Amino acid sequence: MPQMALGGLSESWLLKELGDAHWAMITNGLGAASSTLCDGNGERLYATFVRLRIEATTALARFEENEQLALDAQISRFGAGMFFSELALANQDKSIRASIMSSFTRRGSPTSNESLQKGQPAIPPGCSIPEVAAMPEFGQGYRQRRNAAPPPSLFETTYDIIPYHDINGVGLLYFATYPLISDICELRYVGRANAWALESSTVSRDVCYFANCNAHDRLTYRVHARRDTADGVEIESSLARLSDGALMAYLVTRKAVVRG
């Protein structure tokens, strides 16, 4: 039951499970516990999800209770700083494919999450994570999005961080919370209150992460594009810090109407 929500598979649970598998493959490959990972200067390193994409063959709401799915996962790295995993949850009838890209950061300031800096762990001899010779296409797509200015906004609203829920164990905005914040704000955009949440379900989501925030921050959610699809809608949106306008994430979400 913890894997279920609104009568189908919980996207929040799914992202956490996929993230945990990705992170476990990294720590296993580096031969170190997550709490002991440091850069060459002994500074603590934190796993930073840079991009996450999930694509399901059907809406998550159509995955049923007690349905069994097998997880298959592979990981690779580009140098010592970028890690890529390909994961699949599948049975005979349905499947979910995921791509995850992560790096490492360290705190530039002990009191702020707005000054995170890139870092790299030491790669041990005989590391089991295979290295690729060139930046994967998934990473190239991330760079293109990061360097592109978002289109003009069609809708805008603010969101107050909920520290009890949104902030993770090391004081950063949790990667799996970004899509949830987007969903909460999307309800205001669609204008159908909770009815939209009950009638629609995620089919695919692509999140590019650019920055983090502090627990007391407020965020600005913007809708930049909306396209009707054969079974629902696709929405491009972003999250930014209200305090300085820094872009934190860009999301492309496709949902199907499954009820109503």
Contact call for residues 106 and 46 (beta carbons, < 8 A): yes
**pLDDT number for residue 118:** 84
> Please, where are the H alpha helices in 95-193?
137-147, 163-166, 177-190
Contact call for residues 70 and 89 (beta carbons, < 8 A): yes
Maximum pairwise Cα distance, the chain: 57
HSE (side-chain half, CA atoms, 13 Å) at 53 = 14
> Please, where are the H alpha helices in 38-193?
137-147, 163-166, 177-190
- Say whether domain 4-257 belongs to CATH 3.40.50.720: no
Rounded to the nearest angstrom, the gap between the alpha carbon of residue 53 and the centroid of all alpha carbons in its chain is 7
**pLDDT number for residue 111:** 58
CA angle (108, 111, 112) in 5-degree steps: 65
Torsion angle, alpha carbons of 110, 114, 119, 121, to 10: 60
Strand partners, 240: 220, 247
Containing H/E element for 17?
A: helix 11-30
What's the rounded Cα separation, in Å, for the pair 161 and 167? 8
247: left (phi over 0), alpha (psi -120 to 50) or beta: beta
CA distances from 184 to 82, 152, 165, 197 (A): 31, 21, 13, 9
> Which residues 6+ apart lie within 8 Å of 110 measured at CB?
none
What's the rounded Cα separation, in Å, for the pair 77 and 132? 6
**pLDDT number for residue 114:** 61
Per-residue pLDDT of the chain (260 residues; tens, 9 = 90+): 678 888 799 999 999 999 999 999 999 999 988 888 888 888 888 889 999 999 999 999 999 988 899 999 999 999 999 999 999 999 989 999 999 999 998 876 665 666 677 888 889 998 999 999 999 999 999 999 999 999 999 999 999 999 999 998 888 899 999 999 999 999 999 988 889 999 999 999 999 999 999 899 999 999 999 999 999 999 999 999 999 999 999 999 999 999 86
pTM: 0.93
What's the rounded Cα separation, in Å, for the pair 208 and 144? 10
**pLDDT number for residue 4:** 87
> Which residues 6+ apart lie within 8 Å of 219 measured at CB?
158, 159, 160, 161, 181, 213, 239, 240, 241, 242, 248
**pLDDT number for residue 110:** 60
State the residue for tokens 């060459």.
Answer: 40
**pLDDT number for residue 193:** 82
What's the rounded Cα separation, in Å, for the pair 34 and 179? 24
